[in-house]
Structure 1
Amino acid sequence: MPISLLLAADQHSRRHRGRPEGAPAARTTGKRGPAPKLQQQLERIIRLPKAQQHYVMQMIDIVLQKQQPCR
């Protein structure tokens, strides 16, 4: 799965979290703070060459597989 797709899904879920289907997005006022660290790291990964992105995704998959309960 491309990192850019993960980032887009993350941004979409952040915008729509806690809202009923079809409800308008709430407007935020004021300045936004710094991006969350995970988002910053995803943006850095997106700028890597595809081969390095693939390596990072393999490492993430390994970590996530270890977190899944045994079946």
Structure 2
Amino acid sequence: MAANVKRVSMNLTERDLEAIRFLAEHEGTNQTVAVQRALQLSKFFVEEVEKGSKVLLRRPDGSMVEVVVR
């Protein structure tokens, strides 16, 4: 294990675990990397919203919806 890596313990629901498994399978990676990516993506969105950015999602039909990040 790398020197800057810390082991953590979390209490997660079955729903949380299913989400981690889904992301890992979807991304073709392991569960640790899936959680790391999810955390960094969430952090990115929060930081952007704090700067005044809006997160928009374009649906297949071309409509746009704002994703509310809290």
Higher relative contact order (CA 8 A, sep 6+): 1
Query: Which structure's residues are more often helix, by fraction?
Result: 1
**Larger relative strand fraction:** 2
Provide TM-score, normalisation by structure 1.
Answer: 0.30
Output the TM-score relative to the length of structure 2.
Answer: 0.30
